[in-house]
């Protein structure tokens, strides 16, 4: 009998498990009401007197070993499940996902696309490396036309026919060559000019071109469209159209939006006037329509081109245009909450 109890002690010492249920059935087997220990204790009265002492000591040892085993297994399991159970500690705060930020130019570009898509404009794009025809000649800027000097052009290598587009107006030409009126399209994109880089100007920036060609399109349609656009974008509706000159439109105007002078940045960005020039516009010159294969007797239309960078600077109070292309994460991170 004593040997049998000793075998149990060895068994208890060896026992190990990682499951709470197994610990519990182990406890019941030895220490439960109908467990082995109680059976052995009940045997006590049948043990001959001279063996009683050793028998008693052995059962007590079994009891102690079993109790200790249950306690250590239980506490080990309690600690591990708290930390590494399948789902871990469900009350722990979640880990934040590190989301990126959209670039302010993209944010503003998408807003403008959204506004124009609500009044039936689609989006079109053209290449950044252009030829002379699409960037200049078709837009009523023939070779040696003095207005070419207004846009300091980067030529690609030594070929004077291939250049980095100086404006998105080149996309107007491509669109008219490939589509029949009625046309309502906007063309966002990057443009390049050989200008000294400063806080206010850069050698590349972004424009959105707009083109509307149909029968009986008038200057009033142009003005109303620009009015709608600026009201939607800025929440401010005061604009002015200053007479101007562009070879591809007649008449032509420059578009200013009244922004106000509430902050230091407003002063700097609007040169202290409160007015921001956002781009140019006008009625498409009949010559341009002809160059693109559209009957200028039947159709007329308007076009405009606005600078995205300036608008982004005003909306986000950015006082140095260079920040838009430096890719400094401390700057870019600030746009995380914007769409």
- Residue 58 or 169: the one with the smaller Cβ distance to ligand DAH is 169
Closest CB 91 distance from ligand DAH, rounded Å: 58
Q: Which residues does residue 188 pair with via DSSP β-bridges, in sequence order?
A: 208
- Residue 59 or 139: the one with the smaller Cβ distance to ligand DAH is 139
Q: Which residues does residue 257 pair with via DSSP β-bridges, in sequence order?
A: 239, 276
Q: What whole-number distance in Å separates Cα of residue 110 and Cα of residue 119?
A: 15
Closest CB 167 distance from ligand DAH, rounded Å: 3
- Residue 58 or 166: the one with the smaller Cβ distance to ligand DAH is 166
- Residue 154 or 331: the one with the smaller Cβ distance to ligand DAH is 154
Q: What whole-number distance in Å separates Cα of residue 34 and Cα of residue 31?
A: 8
Closest CB 182 distance from ligand DAH, rounded Å: 17
Joined tokens for residue 283: 């009625």
Closest CB 331 distance from ligand DAH, rounded Å: 26
HSE-up of 201 (CA within 13 Å, CB side)? 7
Listing DSSP states for 180-212 in one string gives PSSEEEEEEEEEE------SS--SEEEEEEEEE
Closest CB 281 distance from ligand DAH, rounded Å: 5
- Residue 189 or 282: the one with the smaller Cβ distance to ligand DAH is 282
Which residues are annotated as part of the binding site for Mg(2+)?
250
- For residues 173 and 138, the answer to whether their CB atoms sit within 8 Å is yes
Q: Count CB neighbours of 206 within 10 A.
A: 22
67 Cβ neighbours under 8 A, 6+ residues apart: 31
Q: Which residues bind ligand DAH (CB under 6 A)?
A: 167, 169, 209, 246, 249, 279-282, 303-305
118 Cβ neighbours under 8 A, 6+ residues apart: 232
- Residue 212 or 259: the one with the smaller Cβ distance to ligand DAH is 212
Closest CB 272 distance from ligand DAH, rounded Å: 23
First to last CA, the chain: 80
Closest CB 332 distance from ligand DAH, rounded Å: 26
290 burial level (CB within 10 Å; 0-12, 13-18, 19+): middle
Q: Where are the alpha helices (DSSP H) in 93-249?
A: 104-117, 132-135, 169-178, 219-234
- Residue 151 or 270: the one with the smaller Cβ distance to ligand DAH is 151
- For residues 23 and 17, the answer to whether their CB atoms sit within 8 Å is yes
């Amino acid at each position: 009998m004593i040997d049998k109890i000793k075998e149990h002690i060895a068994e208890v010492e060896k026992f190990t498990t990682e499951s709470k249920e197994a610990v519990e059935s182990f406890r019941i087997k030895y220490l439960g009401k109908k467990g082995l220990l109680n059976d052995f204790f009940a045997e006590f009265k049948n043990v001959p007197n001279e063996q009683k002492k050793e028998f008693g000591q052995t059962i007590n040892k079994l009891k102690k070993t079993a109790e200790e085993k249950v306690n250590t297994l239980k506490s080990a399991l309690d600690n591990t499940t708290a930390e590494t159970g399948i789902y871990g500690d469900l009350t722990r705060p979640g880990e934040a996902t590190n989301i990126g930020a959209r670039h302010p130019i993209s944010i503003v570009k998408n807003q403008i696309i959204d506004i124009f898509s609500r009044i039936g404009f689609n989006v079109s794009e053209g290449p950044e490396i252009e030829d002379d025809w699409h960037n200049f000649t078709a837009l009523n800027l023939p070779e040696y036309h003095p207005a070419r000097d207004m846009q300091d052009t980067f030529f690609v290598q030594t070929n004077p026919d291939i250049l980095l587009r100086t404006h998105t107006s080149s996309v107007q030409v491509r669109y008219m060559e490939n589509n029949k009126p009625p046309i309502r399209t906007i063309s966002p994109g990057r443009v390049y000019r050989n200008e000294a880089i400063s806080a206010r100007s850069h050698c590349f920036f972004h424009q959105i071109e707009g083109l509307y060609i149909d029968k009986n399109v008038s200057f009033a349609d142009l003005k109303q469209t620009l009015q709608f656009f600026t009201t939607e974008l800025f929440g401010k509706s005061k604009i002015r159209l200053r007479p101007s000159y562009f070879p591809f439109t007649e008449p032509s105007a420059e578009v200013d939006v009244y922004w106000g002078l509430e902050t230091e940045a407003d002063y700097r960005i609007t040169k202290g006037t409160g007015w921001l020039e956002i781009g140019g516009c006008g009625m498409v010159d009949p010559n341009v329509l002809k160059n693109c294969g559209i009957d200028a007797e039947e159709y007329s239309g308007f076009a405009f081109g606005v600078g995205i960078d300036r608008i982004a600077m005003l909306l986000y109070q950015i006082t140095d245009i260079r920040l838009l292309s430096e890719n400094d994460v401390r700057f870019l991170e600030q746009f995380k909450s914007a769409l």
